[in-house]
Amino acid sequence: MTILVTGGAGFIGSNFVLDWLADAAAEPVVNLDALTYAGNRRNLAALEGDARHVFVHGDIGDRALLDRLLAEHRPRALVHFAAESHVDRSIHGPGAFIKTNIEGTFTLLEAARAHWNGLAGDAKAAFRFLHVSTDEVYGSLGPGEPAFTEANPCQPNSPYAASKAASDHLVRAWHHTYGLPVLTTNCSNNYGPFQFPEKLIPLVIVNALAGKPLPIYGDGMQVRDWLYVGDHCSAIRAVLARGRCGEVYNIGGWNEKPNRDIVHAICALLDELRPDAAGPRARLITHVKDRPGHDRRYAIDARKIERELGWRPRQTFETGIRRTVQWYLENAAWVAAVQSGSYRDWVATHYAARG
Ligand code: NAD
Ligand code: TYD
């Protein structure tokens, strides 16, 4: 038995594959990834020479490739991470988000449906398509509003969130119309090892270490619910193993924090772990122009997954952020390698416009 993972060279996907294969008894993984700017084979370096990991460089929009992989490996499950994932990039150029997140998910669903239709008996009953999605599909909350439950309507506000919401709808429809055994997870903001330094937490860590400005959009009082990536991976494993087909599971860390607090927490940890002779890192904080349409608050009500599947996060924000900062301190070579020409171009054009 094998599982097929898409996007397994990205941040969460690579953490998932590494965690999965850390279990000596785990099923092998076929890892399909297009290696966009966000995909990085270095994330999987620990699996070099491990026959249980088969890496395939390819696009989820390539139906012929999908058919070949499904026929060859006959996976018992498909775990779908592959996506364009950065809100700011979706504002600069939404086309890639429509292509991968919507059309790519459609192609994957169709290939999975054909594969599943060809199965029989126990293999057909056991097959699962797990779609990894985000809390951003639910839109933005006011300060006193209750956290998102699975019953909240989809009210996406950014091109990224809209493309993920569209993919969630496709997944739902393939279950209701064709009976495909799907599971959908909507998770809050992740952080941890291997996160590309375009996202807030790794960007602040690498800029602070380099003595560069730490850009906070607007007033910095936007609230996100932060979850350590290892906890997201354990939640996905729980949903895959025990989730009910056709159901949606919200995943969150019960860790609502405004961006300003996140940035200050990272500064304080770096000052402790790697003091800077020039003074406290918080001196580098700069408020820059806000993101257009910036969602004010996300919060996840994760009681359903706790009640039905017994899952709870193991890391608090304090333990998770300390591990994360330590990982970036210990992996300077990884950081240097991802700061390629295209990364520098993104940072230069995006932040130049924010002033
Ligand atoms: P990421 O951008 O770090 O990685 C995405 C991966 O997908 C990359 O390896 C990339 O090469 C690959 N990819 C992109 N387009 C592809 C295509 N057409 N075919 C095959 N591979 C392709 O993203 P991430 O942060 O790891 O997020 C993974 C998933 O989790 C996404 O679906 C995202 O929407 C979801 N999610 C992310 C967060 C978060 O905080 N990062 C939170 C909730 C949900
Ligand atoms: P991000 O990591 O891009 O995740 P998302 O937009 O999916 O929540 O951003 C997290 C929060 O941090 C979001 O409110 C935007 C804010 N942010 C900044 O203030 N400065 C930055 O340089 C970045 C990248 C994000």
User: What is the mean predicted confidence (pLDDT) over 6-25?
Assistant: 98
Q: Indicate the pTM of the whole model.
A: 0.98
Q: Is 135 a catalytic residue?
A: yes
CB 256 near ligand 1, within 6 Å: no
Classify domain 3-190+229-254+298-314 at the CATH topology level.
Answer: Rossmann fold (3.40.50)
Q: Can you give the residue ranges of every domain in the chain?
A: 3-190+229-254+298-314
pLDDT for res 73: 98
User: What is the mean predicted confidence (pLDDT) over 35-39?
Assistant: 97
Q: 223-228 and 256-258: which strand pairing?
A: antiparallel
The Å distance, Cα 276 to ligand 1 centre, comes to 34
Q: In terms of C-beta density within 10 A (0-12 exposed, 13-18 middle, 19 or more buried), how is residue 292 classed?
A: exposed
pLDDT for res 342: 86
pLDDT tens, residue by residue, 126-152 = 999 999 999 999 999 999 999 999 999
Residue bearing the CA closest to ligand 1, atom 17 = 59
Res 355 pLDDT > 80: no
Spatial CA neighbour of 348 closest among 234, 212, 164, 251: 212
Atom of ligand 2 nearest to the CA of 189: 8
pLDDT band at 178 (very low <50, low <70, confident <90, very high): very high
CB 222 near ligand 2, within 6 Å: yes
pLDDT for res 23: 96
pLDDT tens, residue by residue, 243-299 = 999 999 999 999 999 999 999 999 999 999 999 999 999 999 999 999 999 999 999
CB 35 near ligand 1, within 6 Å: yes
What is 184-214 written as a DSSP string?
Answer: EEEE-EEESTT--TTSHHHHHHHHHHTT--E
CB 189 near ligand 2, within 6 Å: yes
pLDDT for res 343: 87
Half-sphere exposure (Cβ direction) of 175: Cα atoms closer than 13 Å: 19
pLDDT tens, residue by residue, 314-334 = 999 999 999 999 999 999 999
Atom of ligand 1 nearest to the CA of 160: 34
Res 217 pLDDT > 90: yes
pLDDT tens, residue by residue, 77-116 = 999 999 999 999 999 999 999 999 999 999 999 999 999 9
CB 200 near ligand 2, within 6 Å: yes
CB 203 near ligand 2, within 6 Å: yes
Atom of ligand 1 nearest to the CA of 37: 11
User: What is the mean predicted confidence (pLDDT) over 339-346?
Assistant: 88
Which is the catalytic residue, given 59, 84, 160, 191? Answer: 160
pLDDT tens, residue by residue, 284-295 = 999 999 999 999
Res 197 pLDDT > 90: yes
Q: Is 88 a catalytic residue?
A: no
Q: Are 221 and 260 in contact (CB under 8 A)?
A: yes
Spatial CA neighbour of 208 closest among 260, 277, 285: 285
pLDDT tens, residue by residue, 223-246 = 999 999 999 999 999 999 999 999
